[in-house]
Amino acid sequence: MSTFKKLWKNYLLSNPDWDVSNKHLRRIKDLSSPQYQFETLFEEIAKNKGISFIFLDPTESFIQLFHHCHIIGGSWANPSKTFVGILGTDKNAKPIQIILKSVKLIKTKTVSMAELIGDERSTNNQETKQTKSEFHFCNILPIPHVLTKAYLELDTFDPQTVALAFYSAMSEFHQKETDTQPNQDTEIVPPLQDERETDNTRLLDNSDEQSTSSNHQLEVGSKGTFLSEFVHILQFCHLCYKKKIPPISYSVETTQDIEQWFTSICFSALHSSMVRLKRQVQSNDDVSDSDDKISSPEQKLSKRDHFFPSAMMKINDAMDKNYKDKS
């Protein structure tokens, strides 16, 4: 069952098709603009791979992520729309429905990027202490796959830990983009201290009275970079930490349509995982010594094919149950 327990996490971390979202940062940010209704945002995001959503959980204690966003319905036969996704990345992963009335547009003042990372050049500058940065987004935000990967590598999901992971991923991505485009003028963003030497609350634990105005050179680097496009994600974590972001409500009660969709997604993930596993085993067989190649049929079955039949049986049972219920 260890394969199944790690199925979603491994699938999301290793699926190269989802990396395409990292090339469309500006569009993802633009869709988060308050000029778009959440339904419009969700509908376009659902058409593209590699984009997840983050939101504050109903207990307001940690940040949650759901992936594989999808819309059920919207046709002539089924005109009502249900906004669904998968919550969780282990064996307990389940489909959920977003309760639209819990989606709210938040307009508030928050700290700048310079203060979020504790840059003393900005926080000690009295000229920048006139106005606060503005946060004007919904309480549920889309993120590209590079941030999804950073989230999946965590063991705890409190706002401080998530913010640090996101900032590290953004800085690393920003540096790679800078290295591959040396001719562009890109501002140097103050690096985050080593996590072993930094208190996890430093990135977020700043009083509102110390908020500064936007200092773009220190804050986010050049226009169009990852940091400049997604500083609102770090501000979102900060506001979650300050209990200023209302949580999102969702339902885990599913309909037959949702169950069928979830089953098909499970099959796709299982198939993709088994194909990669099979290729990996074949590759290992090719490079192994001749003595290592000597193995019994039972050993090869346990390596490659033992899990797949049992998983297929579970999927078939689920589909049979849905069919019987429909009948």
Q: Which residue has the higher pLDDT, 203 or 284?
A: 203
Note the pLDDT of residue 203. 65
| 247, pLDDT greater than 80 | yes
Note the pLDDT of residue 312. 53
From residue 191, alpha-carbon distances to 195, 248, 266, 312 in Å are: 11, 32, 39, 47
Note the pLDDT of residue 300. 43
Tell me what the mean pLDDT of segment 50-59 comes to.
95
Q: What is the mean pLDDT of the chain?
A: 75
Q: Which residue has the higher pLDDT, 201 or 325?
A: 325
The DSSP element (H or E) to which 43 belongs, if any, is helix 38-45
Comparing CA positions, the residue from 81, 64, 63 lying closest to residue 72 is 81
Tell me what the mean pLDDT of segment 294-320 comes to.
49
Q: Is 50 left (phi over 0), alpha (psi -120 to 50) or beta?
A: left
Report the C-alpha gap between 3 and 141 in whole angstroms. Answer: 30
Note the pLDDT of residue 189. 42
**Cβ pair 12, 152 in contact under 8 A:** yes
Q: Which of 40-54, 81-95, 126-140, 193-207 has the lowest mean pLDDT?
A: 193-207
Q: What is the pLDDT of residues 106-143, one digit of tens each?
A: 999 988 766 766 654 444 454 444 447 889 999 999 99
Report the C-alpha gap between 314 and 307 in whole angstroms. Answer: 11
| This model's pTM is above 0.85 | no
| 74, pLDDT greater than 90 | no
Range ranked top by mean pLDDT from 36-50, 102-116, 269-283, 307-321: 36-50
Report the C-alpha gap between 285 and 186 in whole angstroms. Answer: 46
Tell me what the mean pLDDT of segment 93-110 comes to.
94
Q: Which residue has the higher pLDDT, 139 or 174?
A: 139
**Cβ pair 112, 212 in contact under 8 A:** yes
**Cβ pair 34, 232 in contact under 8 A:** no
Q: How far is CA 242 from the centre of its chain?
A: 21
For the chain, the straight-line distance linking the first and the last C-alpha, in angstroms and rounded, comes to 32
Comparing CA positions, the residue from 132, 137, 122 lying closest to residue 34 is 137
Note the pLDDT of residue 274. 64
| 6, pLDDT greater than 60 | yes
Note the pLDDT of residue 104. 96
Confidence label for 13 from pLDDT (cuts 50, 70 and 90): confident
| 46, pLDDT greater than 80 | yes
Per cent of the chain over pLDDT 90 is 39
Q: How far is CA 105 from the centre of its chain?
A: 20
Confidence label for 9 from pLDDT (cuts 50, 70 and 90): confident
Note the pLDDT of residue 326. 55
268 phi, psi to nearest 5 deg: -65, -45
| 47, pLDDT greater than 70 | yes
Note the pLDDT of residue 282. 56
172-178 long-range contacts, Cβ below 8 Å, gap at least 24? 173/22, 173/146, 173/226, 174/221, 174/225, 174/226, 174/227, 177/225, 177/226
244 phi, psi to nearest 5 deg: -110, 5
Comparing CA positions, the residue from 72, 103, 106, 141 lying closest to residue 250 is 103
| 313, pLDDT greater than 90 | no
Q: Is 102 left (phi over 0), alpha (psi -120 to 50) or beta?
A: alpha
Note the pLDDT of residue 238. 93
Going by the DSSP 8-state scheme, the letter that residue 235 receives in this structure is H
Q: Which residue has the higher pLDDT, 111 or 291?
A: 111
From residue 200, alpha-carbon distances to 149, 158, 220 in Å are: 19, 10, 21
Q: Which residue has the higher pLDDT, 121 or 146?
A: 146
Note the pLDDT of residue 143. 96
